[in-house]
Amino acid sequence: MAEQYDMFDGEGAFLAKMRNMWNKGIEGDGGFCPCCGKWGKVAKFKLRQYYALSLRWIAVHGEKDGWVNVQEKGPKFIMRSKNYAQLKHWGLIESKENKSGIWRVTQRGLDFMNGITTMPIAVYTYNKQIFGFDNEQTSYRGLFGVHFDYDEMMSARFDWASIKGRDDE
């Protein structure tokens, strides 16, 4: 039998209980809101090699002020999923204007790429807002596999055409 809530304790107490129940629902397997029927679930985005390569591409291809129109100039490996925008949740990139497709790497993103800082391995979002971060930290270098040549990728002469999904495939 479902718990009966006392709505006469005050509207604030009742709403707090409802918010708490909703948060528990979306933190787990997800669920439908009993009021509006909207499906809700906290999404988990993990930093991976794809994000690291996207961050590096944006940093290298930005104009003098750092801005680059990723929508127009981005290679296929970035444009296939367009998940690179999730990097904003870690504060690694910023958008010039909302939904403009023009991005640049932040100082925090540069510090991460240069090994000065670490980042939480995952961010949890709900309704396009940050819900929380994972406790586990990672370095930029840690996002690459054992057989990956980090120094080659970070060099100025890195061959972007060697990335799977390049434009000439």
Task: Determine the straight-line distance between the first and last CA of the chain, rounded to whole angstroms.
Answer: 59
Torsion over CA: 137, 140, 142, 143 (sign): positive
What is the model's pTM? Answer: 0.72
Mean of pLDDT values over 16-33: 74
pLDDT tens per residue, range 61-100: 999 899 999 989 988 888 887 789 999 999 999 999 877 8
Domain ranges of the chain: 7-41, 46-119+134-162
pLDDT tens per residue, range 128-146: 888 889 899 999 999 987 5
- Give the amino acid at 112: F
